[in-house]
Amino acid sequence: MLNFDFYNPTKLVFGKNTVKRIGKEISSNGYTSVLLVAGGGSIKENGVYDIVVNSLKNNGIKFKEVWGVRANPVISKVNEIIEVAKDFKADCLLAVGGGSVIDSVKAASAGIFVDNVWNLFEMRKPVTKGLPIFTVLTLSATGSEMNCYSVVTNEAEKKKWNIAGTPLHPVVSIVDPTVQFSLPWHQTLNGSLDALSHIMELYFANDTSITTLAVNESLSKTVIEMTDILQKNEKNYNARANLAWAATLALNGISGAGQGGGDWASHGIEHGISAVYPDIAHGAGLGVVFPAWIEYCYDANPSLFERWSKNIWNGASVKEGIENFKSKIKSWNGAVTLRELGVEKNKLDEIADTVMLAGVQGKVKKLKKEDIKNILQLAY
Amino acid sequence: MLNFDFYNPTKLVFGKNTVKRIGKEISSNGYTSVLLVAGGGSIKENGVYDIVVNSLKNNGIKFKEVWGVRANPVISKVNEIIEVAKDFKADCLLAVGGGSVIDSVKAASAGIFVDNVWNLFEMRKPVTKGLPIFTVLTLSATGSEMNCYSVVTNEAEKKKWNIAGTPLHPVVSIVDPTVQFSLPWHQTLNGSLDALSHIMELYFANDTSITTLAVNESLSKTVIEMTDILQKNEKNYNARANLAWAATLALNGISGAGQGGGDWASHGIEHGISAVYPDIAHGAGLGVVFPAWIEYCYDANPSLFERWSKNIWNGASVKEGIENFKSKIKSWNGAVTLRELGVEKNKLDEIADTVMLAGVQGKVKKLKKEDIKNILQLAY
């Protein structure tokens, strides 16, 4: 088991009818002036917006709004959030949405204190200062509600990169699973694939943390089981709730304890894909890339990949585990090839180049451009 | 899945050669004057004391020492710690030891700010103020290194009760598993039984948090597997490390997410036993009480207890699960009856009365004095 530090000071408020607590949580932390950031408007349809606004008003909190954060969020929007927050003199930021909204708010939180926020992404140093962040989660997927990571795309440079740092932990995140009853199936599915991928990025990186491997197998099986239930009944509260909590645990430090930081090559490859094709959802891209990555890399540690195959996918071999994984994605009506996602074959080289902007990928195997292309071919 | 808040701001520093970081962790948090609290002296034999003291000196931290915290720690010692801390004007407290030392320091942390620390135990209200706490853990068992609970015995009144509250979360806890290489087997065993018991107290309280149940089964199986390895080789680092992390997770909030606070009747009963027999180790007492409690209570939720039996103990029925659990304890050379622990049969009534000082016990079944006596008989 590798050495690790675990530190996660985010308070997670979890369960039915908890969104209305947001105002009190903000005011009891001493903040009075909030910039509310949101996406395309689904929170007005599902009632979350009204509950949040009433809660802010009832607790005497001034607020202003920025709308229009998109999936695969972009640095231009982050700059807009920064400008409005400065102008409004916000003393904290409130993300109401999924991982893209939260990640945009995190980037803005750090960006408020520097001249050029993208420089933070280029420097790859931990963020040391940020405006306090609160979140109301509307889609369980990225785990961003309870970690200190932010992934944002620089659309001009086609770089989908990340920053991290202690101040980027949300102070309080509210997760009400009932909010997710109205999600379209593909969003639920992509969230599950994202959560499964986070667990795999950490799982395959080290084989000595037996506790973490066992916990991660439990989380994976729970994600699969709950996704199966939700495919039949999108309003099953218990499945929504258990999926939501498993997705949070998938990237809040627990799933990575003693795993040395994880592999993250599949994420790197997916980031290249969605930097070139911004309409491909992150989770959908990961669902295609990960089986190919496993096929390409499992000879680096056969017994660990066999354990994964056996304990999660009931596979007698790694190949069978991969096939069962892909069959499950198909049964969920998800894509298992880049072709299905609309990627053109003549773009694979450009995607590999885009991936390599961030340097050699991965830890299980150190992947160079030729390796990335091979994995993309396998996934095609 | 029941609603819950998760908040655990303790920074856990985990792994080999981490004890020497304690001085830096304290000074970087701005503290300069530490009261070091310890037990009977084992930390002088295993080298931990020297490493801690050098680290404090190297970071310019003044310190004073209080020694002699015993297992099943007592309120008179807590009062001594409070007096010395006040006199020394300590700005934080450092526990170097196992759960008893940490719990004593937590009680002192809160007690410094009130006239009579035992009143906090009697009032059963959350602690709202405490002197900052740091810990160096030397025995994985209670999980106290990463939670906000403290259990202390009032020896005059034979009450072994608890307090809790946000300020009692250690700021930083250091867990170096190599420190535990020199533990006598019975201490390792009692630690494992304590960790397993914490998981069970939470597990049996609710059957809707599938994520939590699955994680708790993984933790339980890991504790059992690692204890088996350590019985053969006490210096197996990976087994020590994985057991240590599983024991921390067993009571840091993760194992209780959505479980509504847990049952805790078995702990209540054990606290009665060790209030009357202070030399009975907490974990050893729990190993005897829990199988009897399960036998007495499982008809309240047969399917959940069957799940536990099947998934952890490979039992075809609850009875078989209980038998396999007891067989495992015997294979570890642990006690499975109160008689083996030295409890006299004519004391069972007094123990039951002592348990009832804290009121009706448990949630799976509400246990009154007659029930407690029945369980004690089953365990005898």
Return the DSSP state at B317. Answer: S
Which 3-state string (H, E, C) describes B64-89? EEECCCCCCCEHHHHHHHHHHHHHHC
User: How far is the first Cα of chain B from the last one, in angstroms, to the nearest whole number?
Assistant: 36
From the CA of A238, how many Å to the nearest CA of chain B? 6
CB contact under 8 A, A208 and B6: no
CA A244 to chain centre: 12
Give the H or E element holding residue B153. strand B149-154
Residue A109, CA atoms < 13 Å, CB-side half-sphere: 34
B24: contact with A, CB 8 A cutoff: no
Under 8 Å between Cβ of A328 and A236: no
Under 8 Å between Cβ of B150 and B115: no
Of the candidates B1, B7, B257, which has its C-beta nearest A238's C-beta?
B1
Q: Which residues of B touch A215 (CB under 8 A)?
A: 215, 218-219, 249
Looking at residue B18, what is its pLDDT?
98
Of the candidates B4, B214, B237, which has its C-beta nearest A15's C-beta?
B4
ipTM metric: 0.96
- Name the stretches of chain A with pLDDT < 70: none
How is residue A165 written in tokens?
Answer: 């740092």
Q: Which residues of A touch B212 (CB under 8 A)?
A: 245
From the CA of A10, how many Å to the nearest CA of chain B? 6
Rounded Cα gap, residues B190 and B280, in angstroms: 11
Give the count of Cβ contacts less than 8 A between chain A and B: 118
CB contact under 8 A, B238 and A1: yes
Amino acid, res. B336:
V
Looking at residue B237, what is its pLDDT?
98
Instruction: Collapse the DSSP code of A158 into the 3-class scheme (helix H, G, I; strand E, B; otherwise coil) and give the result.
Output: coil
From the CA of B374, how many Å to the nearest CA of chain A? 36
CB contact under 8 A, A258 and B7: no
Question: Residues B283-303: pLDDT tens digits?
Answer: 999 999 999 999 999 999 999
B215: contact with A, CB 8 A cutoff: yes
Helix, strand, coil percent values for chain A (each to nearest 5):
55, 15, 30
Looking at residue A196, what is its pLDDT?
98
Regarding beta strands A92-97 and A33-37, do their DSSP bridges make them parallel or antiparallel, or are they unpaired?
parallel
Total number of residues shown for chain B: 380
Under 8 Å between Cβ of B5 and B33: no
Question: Residues B130-146: pLDDT tens digits?
Answer: 999 999 999 999 999 99
CB contact under 8 A, A5 and B11: yes
- The stretch B241-261 carries a mean pLDDT of 97
From the CA of A254, how many Å to the nearest CA of chain B? 9
Mean pLDDT of chain B: 97
φ/ψ (deg, to 5) at B339: -55, -45
CB contact under 8 A, B219 and A221: no
CA B218 to chain centre: 19
Q: Which residues of A touch B237 (CB under 8 A)?
A: 1
- The stretch B160-174 carries a mean pLDDT of 96
Q: Would you say residue B158 has pLDDT above 90? A: no
* Residues forming a β-bridge with A316: none
Looking at residue B97, what is its pLDDT?
98
Looking at residue A158, what is its pLDDT?
87
Under 8 Å between Cβ of B127 and B163: yes
How is residue A220 written in tokens?
Answer: 């994976």
A83: contact with B, CB 8 A cutoff: no
What DSSP string describes A18-81?
-GGGHHHHHHHTT--EEEEE--SSHHHHSSHHHHHHHHHHHTT-EEEEE----SS-BHHHHHHH
List the 275-334 stretch of A: residues with Cβ below 8 A of B.
Answer: none
How is residue B194 written in tokens?
Answer: 């304590």
CB contact under 8 A, A14 and B8: no
Q: Which residue of A has its CA nearest to B216?
A: A215
CB atoms within 10 A of CB A115: 6
**B7 falls in which pLDDT band (50, 70, 90)?**
very high
A12: contact with B, CB 8 A cutoff: yes
Rounded Cα gap, residues B356 and B350, in angstroms: 10
Of the candidates A6, A210, A246, which has its C-beta nearest B12's C-beta?
A6
A207: contact with B, CB 8 A cutoff: no
Percent of chain B with pLDDT over 70: 100
Q: Which residue of A has its CA nearest to B8?
A: A9
